[in-house]
Amino acid sequence: MKQITSYLILLAVATVLYSCRSTKKIQNVITTKIDTVVAVAPTPEVDLHADSIKFISEAIHKIDSNRVGFKTFSAKVKVNFEDKDGKKNDFNAFIRLKKDSILWIKIDAVLGIEAFRVIVTPDSVKVLNKLDKVVQYRAVSGLQELSQLPFGFKELQNLIIGDPVYLDTNVVSYKKDDKSLSLYSFGNFFKQLLSVNPADYTLQNCKLDDIDPTRARTCLVIYGEYQKKNNQPFSTFRKITVQEKSKLDIEMEYKQFDFDQDLSFPFSVPRNYKKQ
């Protein structure tokens, strides 16, 4: 169960908890290497034609306008992951989120026994480890420095709600067909290949590759199994693959989810818990 703590941190605050190092059928989008989906320009300095610039600008606007609208969000999520040794684990996570403010996560182990409770705010992370009777306090800024990633509360919120984690406007090339629209962009930290459904601009997948070739970090997020609630599409299946020196696969299946309900965020620390 201690392994789960590390993997959740990677997922929640650098993919919640403090490592930062990093089943349903889904579309067959990774049978070939995603880098080959689009003809990529060799450098960011690309002279795109005016019509291409207009098309890209309109596409980015539609993707941005397609973000999930909500004040609060709650969900029950089945999380499955496979570690670098091929060991498979699973658990249930109960999520409550107040937009731009607070994220609450309860993690249940075998037989529904609560193992962890987590509170994330824009500047802090608190983890209640009920198995070892320990409470941990971390600053989000410290986690960002450790991971060398621009990953904070906003990005975590995007990941959970199903919005683009990063929406970079520095697009250097694109490819469009009947099934997919792919935008390739360069940022300060990553090269990004973002693919959406051209019919409704829902996310299909996002691939991030580290600009620094010495790190060789890569992250692939696949979105699928869309359902509509409150007249907006929501991805109920995510697959996240993070790879640097080792590989981690995570699948998230949203079994239940609701928007704009009244929520509470209980987090009390028993007196006998040790502080770390």
Tally of domains within the chain:
1
Tell me which residue has tokens 């060991």: 87
What's the rounded mean pLDDT across residues 151-165? Answer: 87
Q: How confident is the model at residue 105 (pLDDT cuts 50, 70, 90)?
A: very high
Question: CATH number, domain at 82?
Answer: 2.50.20.10
pLDDT value at 272 more than 60: yes
> How confident is the model at residue 48, as a pLDDT?
57
Residue 97 falls within a domain, yes or no?
Answer: yes
> How confident is the model at residue 142, as a pLDDT?
66
Q: DSSP 3-state assignment of 21?
A: coil
Looking at per-residue pLDDT, the higher value among 48 and 63 belongs to 63
pLDDT value at 46 more than 60: no
Residue 10 falls within a domain, yes or no?
Answer: yes
Q: What is the pLDDT of residues 71-96, one digit of tens each?
A: 999 999 998 887 667 777 788 899 99
Which structural domain, as residue segments, surrounds residue 138?
Answer: 2-22+37-275
Q: What are phi and psi of 82, to 5 degrees?
A: -125, 125
Residue 31 falls within a domain, yes or no?
Answer: no
Contacts 24+ apart (CB under 8 A), 47-51: 48/172, 48/173
What Å distances lie between residue 30 and 38, 204, 264, CA to CA?
14, 11, 39
Residue 42 falls within a domain, yes or no?
Answer: yes
pLDDT value at 262 more than 70: yes
pLDDT value at 257 more than 90: yes
pLDDT value at 33 more than 50: no
Residue 235 falls within a domain, yes or no?
Answer: yes
DSSP β-bridge partners for residue 185: 171, 192
Residue 150 falls within a domain, yes or no?
Answer: yes
Residue 29 falls within a domain, yes or no?
Answer: no
> How confident is the model at residue 80, as a pLDDT?
87
Residue 27 falls within a domain, yes or no?
Answer: no
> How confident is the model at residue 247, as a pLDDT?
79
Q: DSSP 3-state assignment of 253?
A: strand
Q: What is the C-alpha to C-alpha distance for residues 97 and 226, in angstroms, rounded to an integer?
A: 20
What is the residue type of 124? S
Looking at per-residue pLDDT, the higher value among 24 and 60 belongs to 60
Q: Are 206 and 192 in contact (CB under 8 A)?
A: yes
Window from 102-111, 209-218, 247-256, 259-268 with minimum mean pLDDT: 209-218
Looking at per-residue pLDDT, the higher value among 118 and 217 belongs to 118
